[in-house]
């Protein structure tokens, strides 16, 4: 899942702000999500999930999360355990939400290795300040890792740079009409930048912006809130009555249309209760759709959104062949002595592990095996190896797994 840029514009009360950080938010109560986004709209671009599985799927689809904010009773502890044991996502900053902040909640967060814990009302501490600290911490780790790998890092050989410039330069020239057409269509389709940028770690642990064509709206958060309001509150019998009276119009008139239920410690009308559940379920089915632009779906399905990475190669951020550039939180886990050598080699669009097991259609490659192949490439890459990888990449693209 992608969002629309390094910084994301959001409109609130007629003003334009810059959302600085991307957040995965987990809570089974959709109203808490609406309150959260209203409170932090100026700073945060929020992706909502009501199950841990949905949040994990987003991460697997490369959603560039700066932080995960998850409610402990909504699967937050389960998600925290999965994240911390994950090879790829283990270093994503994690904030645990609790209904009441007390010593027991703090101790639980510490034992489960959460980065911080807040009450759902955020009446203790400043969430945005903590997220800014998490980002500074990542940059500090990046700086130390860059120094550590610097002595072992190999400069890109002239032959490799020549191949990159010749092949991608020719491709960009041939595809220039496509670039121009797509750029115009993106501008006509929705407001926002043409390119989406994501911070990645490449050769020598240097951080750069990876480019893609933007496929999502910049005002997705506001659109979702408006659609939620229309969908959940503009009916003949508004769900808000549950929060005030717990009864529908017919019950208020003195006629009990359905049996009364007890929900969250209060008596409510069964008719309104089921109406709320149906409306929430209906909204959850389409809540992600507004984020993707009309053009964005086509760009993704055709992989045209990936073309701007050719610009990264021309700039020298990465090579045609090399080790996959990693998101900051994933690269942070690769700074140990036994893994950091993978950054000594060039970063690339395709690489050794993509054309070995994955190229043969196998899905059982472990993170350790992948890292070892990256280290092998960093130590042994040559003109011959690069040519072999390029020739094997095209058959690998036809396999069941994406490379």
CA nearest 338: which of 374, 302, 381?
A: 374
Separation CA 257–CA 248 (nearest Å) = 8
Separation CA 263–CA 200 (nearest Å) = 47
pLDDT of res. 90: 79
Contact call for residues 177 and 188 (beta carbons, < 8 A): no
Query: What is the per-residue pLDDT across 195-210, written as a single tens digit (0 to 9) for each?
Result: 988 889 999 888 899 9
Mean pLDDT of 18-33: 85
pLDDT of res. 4: 34
Neighbour count for residue 252 (Cβ, 10 Å)? 12
CA nearest 347: which of 336, 365, 331?
A: 331
Least confident of 44-48, 157-161, 181-185, 317-321: 44-48
Q: Confidence class of residue 377 from pLDDT cuts 50, 70 and 90?
A: very high
Query: What is the per-residue pLDDT across 314-341, written as a single tens digit (0 to 9) for each?
Result: 999 999 999 999 888 888 888 877 788 8
Contact call for residues 305 and 213 (beta carbons, < 8 A): yes
Q: Confidence class of residue 68 from pLDDT cuts 50, 70 and 90?
A: very high
Residue 263 has pLDDT above 80, yes or no: no
Q: Kindly tell me the sign of the dihedral angle through the C-alpha atoms of 212, 216, 219, 221.
A: negative
Separation CA 328–CA 312 (nearest Å) = 17
More confident position, 360 or 199:
199
pLDDT of res. 354: 82
CA nearest 123: which of 193, 67, 51, 39?
A: 39
Contact call for residues 50 and 30 (beta carbons, < 8 A): yes
């Amino acid at each position: 899942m992608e969002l629309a840029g390094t910084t994301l514009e959001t409109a609130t009360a007629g003003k334009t702000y810059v959302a600085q950080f991307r957040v995965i938010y987990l809570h089974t109560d959709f109203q808490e999500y609406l309150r959260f986004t209203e409170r932090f709209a100026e700073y945060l671009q929020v992706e909502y999930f009501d199950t841990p599985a949905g949040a994990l799927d987003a991460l697997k689809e490369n959603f560039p999360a700066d932080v995960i904010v998850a409610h402990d009773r909504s699967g937050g502890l389960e998600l925290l355990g999965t994240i911390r044991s994950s090879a790829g996502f283990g270093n994503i900053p994690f904030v645990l939400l609790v209904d009441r902040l007390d010593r027991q909640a703090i101790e639980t967060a510490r034992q489960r290795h959460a980065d911080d814990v807040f009450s759902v009302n955020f009446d203790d501490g400043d969430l945005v300040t903590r997220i800014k600290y998490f980002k500074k911490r990542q940059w500090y780790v990046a700086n130390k890792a860059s120094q550590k790998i610097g002595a072992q890092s190999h400069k890109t050989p002239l032959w490799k740079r020549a191949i990159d410039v010749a092949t991608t330069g020719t491709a960009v020239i041939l595809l220039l009409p496509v670039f121009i057409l797509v750029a115009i269509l993106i501008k006509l389709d929705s407001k926002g930048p043409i390119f989406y940028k994501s911070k990645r770690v490449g050769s020598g642990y240097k951080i750069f912006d990876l480019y893609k064509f933007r496929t999502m709206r910049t005002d997705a958060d506001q659109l979702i809130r408006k659609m939620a309001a229309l969908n959940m509150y503009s009916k003949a019998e508004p769900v808000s009555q549950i929060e005030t009276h717990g009864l529908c119009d017919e019950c208020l008139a003195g006629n009990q249309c359905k049996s009364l239920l007890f929900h969250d410690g209060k008596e409510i009308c069964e008719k309104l209760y089921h109406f709320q559940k149906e409306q929430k379920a209906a909204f959850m089915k389409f809540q992600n759709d507004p984020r993707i632009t009309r053009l964005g779906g086509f760009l993704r399905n055709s992989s045209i959104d990936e073309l701007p990475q050719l610009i990264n190669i021309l700039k020298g951020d990465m090579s045609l062949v090399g080790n996959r550039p990693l998101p900051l939180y994933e690269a942070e886990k690769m700074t140990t002595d036994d893994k950091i050598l993978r950054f000594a080699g060039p970063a690339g669009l395709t690489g050794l592990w993509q054309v070995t097991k994955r190229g043969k259609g196998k899905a059982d490659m472990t993170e350790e095996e992948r890292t070892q192949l990256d280290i092998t490439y960093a130590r042994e890459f040559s003109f011959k190896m690069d040519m072999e990888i390029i020739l094997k990449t095209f058959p690998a693209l036809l396999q069941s797994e994406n490379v």
